[in-house]
Amino acid sequence: MNAAAAGRPVTIREVAERAGVSISTVSHTFSGRRPISAATRARVREAAAELGYDPNPSARSLRTGRSGLVGLILRPRYAVSGTPDRAETFNRLVGAVATEALRHGTGLIHVPDLHDPAVASVPMDGCIVAHPYGGDTALAELLGRGLPVVTVEEDPDRPDLPWAVRLDYPPVVEALLDHLHAQGAREILLLSGTEDNAWNRRPRETYAAWCARRGLRPRTGLLSEGLSMPDAAELVQPLLAGPDRPDAIVVATSDFAALIAEVAAARGLRIPEELMLAALTDSEHARAGHPPITAMDLTHEALAERAVELMLARLSGAETPDGPVFLTPDLRLRASTRRKS
């Protein structure tokens, strides 16, 4: 029984001994960073294989200063405790980042709470911070440590950090509003989430500007991403009750959009004839809703792909880009906003 089978890790020293060479020769055999005679290399490889040698990654990165690992921090606090909408969003982003990292042969670490001292910090060469808040503290912390950071969506208070993949909301949100307007909507209510991130802020800004241009009264409200369905229903009811109810609602999350559709149906309001409905993120709720709900897909896969590329470029010493990469969300018009005319 060799050392590995016994549970004790095999070190470079044992391999060297077995092969009858020095530890530096073993090291160089694997790194290839200096010429080793074929005979020696064969002996070392054989010894390593027999012993089940696997270089200790901590020792290596202590020495080299690099781990070959990229971190991922998903900021939205409701990402983890999830309604299906949030779960789908979270899963798509995490899955896509993981896929992309693996495709490049890079290990990916999901970083646990940065601020919890009970939690060991992780050896990462750089970190992807997804959907940061305005003035994001975790982002600031990492930047303060001098760690290379790439963000998925910008910290809305620091929109110009160049190492970022951003979503270009204005044209898409305008297209959505124009579409609603073209279908006859004149009283459009925007229900944002309460998370202070780009996804909530940018569309709100675009909406305000659009209303001003059109000379329409802006109508906005908040619906926290953390609400339970019953609590959200409670808040939605009165919005549909009064005589001044909106003729279209744009709501941040798609499961609340589906909820609004239900509440509307219960009140006898027909969609899209009496009320149009759209969501600012897409999910199965929207696609399979009754009727299917118009939604903006945030192209998580593309965000992930570009973010990983950006990070790897950065770690290989690429120049700082002139500005963020911009991607365009994908507007998916569905029956909830399509009036037969």
Partner DNA sequence: CTGAAAGCGCTAACAA
Partner DNA sequence: TTGTTAGCGCTTTCAG
Q: Residue numbers of the site for DNA (CB under 7 A)? A: 9, 11-13, 20-25, 27-28, 30-31, 33-37, 39-41, 53, 55-56, 59-60, 62-64
- CB nearer DNA, residue 53 or residue 90: 53
C-alpha distances out from residue 321 to 141, 147, 160, 324, Å: 22, 17, 11, 7
Instruction: Check binding of 84 to its own copies (CB under 8 A).
Output: no
Which of 139, 140, 108 lies closest to 124 in space, CA to CA? 108
Q: Are 69 and 277 in contact (CB under 8 A)?
A: no
Which residues make Cβ contacts (< 8 Å) with residue 215, sequence separation at least 6? none
Q: Which does 22 bind (CB under 5 to 8 A by kind): its own copies, DNA, none?
A: DNA
Q: Which does 221 bind (CB under 5 to 8 A by kind): DNA, its own copies, none?
A: none
Question: Applying CB under 8 A, which of residues 33, 38, 39, 144 lies at the interface with its own copies?
Answer: 144
Q: Are 277 and 293 in contact (CB under 8 A)?
A: yes
Candidate segments 110-118, 153-161, 191-199, 201-209, binder of its own copies by CB under 8 A: 110-118
Which residues make Cβ contacts (< 8 Å) with residue 234, sequence separation at least 6? none
Instruction: Check binding of 112 to its own copies (CB under 8 A).
Output: yes
Instruction: Check binding of 49 to its own copies (CB under 8 A).
Output: no
Q: Which does 36 bind (CB under 5 to 8 A by kind): its own copies, DNA, none?
A: DNA
Q: Which does 197 bind (CB under 5 to 8 A by kind): DNA, its own copies, none?
A: none
Residue 274 sits at the vertex; the CA angle it makes with 270 and 275, to the nearest 5 degrees, is 90
The DSSP bridge pattern shows strands 188-192 and 248-251 to be: parallel
Candidate segments 63-71, 236-244, 302-310, 312-320, binder of its own copies by CB under 8 A: 63-71
| Tokens 């050392």, located at residue | 3
How many angstroms separate the CA atoms of 51 and 11, rounded? 9
**Torsion sign across C-alpha atoms 72, 75, 78, 84:** negative
The distance of closest approach from Cβ of residue 22 to DNA in the complex, given in angstroms and rounded to an integer, is 3
Instruction: Check binding of 80 to its own copies (CB under 8 A).
Output: yes
Candidate segments 111-119, 178-186, 241-249, 321-329, binder of its own copies by CB under 8 A: 111-119
Question: 299 phi and psi, to 5 degrees?
Answer: 50, 55
Q: Are 19 and 43 in contact (CB under 8 A)?
A: yes
The distance of closest approach from Cβ of residue 122 to DNA in the complex, given in angstroms and rounded to an integer, is 13
- CB nearer DNA, residue 62 or residue 80: 62
- CB nearer its own copies, residue 112 or residue 171: 112
Distance of CA 306 to the CA centre of its chain: 11
How many angstroms separate the CA atoms of 76 and 78, rounded? 5
Q: Which does 267 bind (CB under 5 to 8 A by kind): DNA, its own copies, none?
A: none
The distance of closest approach from Cβ of residue 41 to DNA in the complex, given in angstroms and rounded to an integer, is 7
Question: Applying CB under 8 A, which of residues 34, 103, 186, 267 lies at the interface with its own copies?
Answer: 103
Query: What is the total count of residues that contact its own copies (CB under 8 A)?
Result: 57
Q: Are 257 and 286 in contact (CB under 8 A)?
A: yes
The distance of closest approach from Cβ of residue 334 to its own copies in the complex, given in angstroms and rounded to an integer, is 13
- CB nearer DNA, residue 44 or residue 130: 44
Between the two ends of the chain, the Cα-to-Cα distance in Å is 80
